[in-house]
Amino acid sequence: MTNVSAMDARIERAWRAPAAPGATGPRVRDGVIALIAAVAAIAEAALRTDLVWPAASAAITIAVLPGLLWRRAHPLAVVAGMTAVSAAAEIAAFSAGAPFGALGAVVVMLAVPYALFRWGTGRARIVGAPVLAAGILVSLVTGGDGAVGAAAGALIVGGACLVGVIRRQRVEAQAARREYERTAEREELARDLHDTVAHHVSAIAIRAQAAQALPPDAGHAPTAFAAIEREARDALAEMRSLVRTLRGGGVAPLRPIAGLPDIEALAAAGPPAVEVTIPPGVGESVERMPRLVRNVLFRIAQEGVANARRHAAGATRITVAIDADAAGVELTIADDGAPLPSAPPAGFGIAGMTERAAMVGGTLVAGPAGSAVPARSAGGAGDRPAGGSAGAGERAVDDGGRRLVGAGWVVRAVVPAPGRQNGGPA
């Protein structure tokens, strides 16, 4: 019973399938092809001496040629009309005891069964297939070529139908792939939008809180409000650009790919202060990485700083450190805020950062300082648990002899060098 229901469901879906995109009416080239075929049919009828009824053969051929113009928009009607005209001619010739002489120009009508399966609706294809089979059956009964001729005709017509099916499936597969790519691009833009909003709005909130804490007559208020205005203006500009692209209403203005200068620009006086540390020589290594990798590093750093601003209670300092060697690049974002639970804060921040790292073959881990947040060993030979070199309450990261974090949260992303994403040599 279940199999019968499943079969009924498949038949129902096939019956209700819509026409393929591009099932439009006449085109200029259709008219040109039909006109050339009509002229060829007239010439052929005039020159061939084996035709019993040359005028009738030319007239029948010309009568079905207009179907070429409507084969995409109304394939079933054209198939039915062509089959009816040809079957009637064959039956009339058979009744008169004379062979029906088909013209070579009629070969262009193979575009009709092709169009039925290339553009037709599910109903048109299901109904049209028996109609074509009936036409072939009439040719078998009335023709003088016997079973061999009928088999050849069936093979030719069936081949045209098969080509239409294959072409339709290929076009649909390409459309599905393009839609998948557009969806992936929109998801990427959505992550960018989240990162942009989180970063700038967090900065606005922190600066507004700091401004409220200042005495009423403090001279720092204009500076704080100017910074808030700048962050808001930048957020609006980036959001408009991303939303314009998401809507598909135009191409977003081109801008340089984010990279190391953008990471350095995350540094801020705070509160909390954001310090960016890039040892000498590391910058050149990062700049040699592919543009996508540099953009991913910036987005992770941006989101990590935004998360620290939002969730690190009492934090006075956020550190962003980049290290690189032949194995790849390690990015660490840490804060000295109050200890956080081991479960990450709710939201899309860590998930988005993890996806970005995975997109370039890297890994990302996040957790409270002192937990087992893995870090690459000095030689980049692998991962080791963090915490062994730090005290029980904090995770130390080498930054020119300074401790980067206290008891806050640590985010660490490791991106392999080009050629090592799949474990190959650098």
* Per-residue pLDDT at 79: 94
**pLDDT, position 66:** 93
Closest C-alpha to 373, from 346, 401, 334: 334
CB 404 within 8 A of CB 332: yes
Mean model confidence pLDDT for the chain:
76
pLDDT band at 213 (very low <50, low <70, confident <90, very high): low
Q: What is the mean pLDDT of residues 239-264?
A: 61
**pLDDT above 50: residue 378:** no
Tell whether the torsion through CA atoms of 397, 402, 408 and 414 is positive or negative: negative
The listed CATH number (3.30.1490.20, 3.30.565.10, 3.40.50.620, 3.40.1790.10) that belongs to domain 259-426? 3.30.565.10
Instruction: Answer with the residue of higher pLDDT: 51 or 84.
Output: 84
Q: For the chain, which residues make up each domain, given as ranges?
A: 12-144, 259-426
Residue with structure tokens 């498949």? 10
Residue 92 parent element (H or E):
helix 75-96
d(C-alpha 142, C-alpha 93), whole Å: 8
Cβ atoms of 117 and 161 within 8 Å: the answer is yes
**Per-residue pLDDT, 398:** 39
**pTM score > 0.85 for this model?**
no
- 299 vs 420, which has greater pLDDT? 299
Confidence band of 112 (pLDDT split at 50, 70, 90): very high
pLDDT digits (tens, 9 = 90+) for 168-202: 999 999 888 878 776 776 676 666 666 666 666 66
pLDDT higher than 90, residue 95: no
CA dist 206 to 200, 210, 225, 379, Å?
A: 10, 6, 11, 38
Calculate mean pLDDT across residues 69-93: 92
Find the Cα–Cα–Cα–Cα dihedral 194, 198, 200, 202, rounded to 10°.
Answer: 170
Q: From CA 173, how far away is CA 306, in angstroms rounded?
A: 40
Q: What is the DSSP track for 115-149?
A: HHHHH--HHHHHHHHHHHHHHHHHHHHH-SSHHHH
Question: Would you place residue 395 in the very low, low, confident or very high pLDDT band (cuts 50, 70, 90)?
Answer: very low
Name the residue with higher pLDDT: 408 or 185. Answer: 408
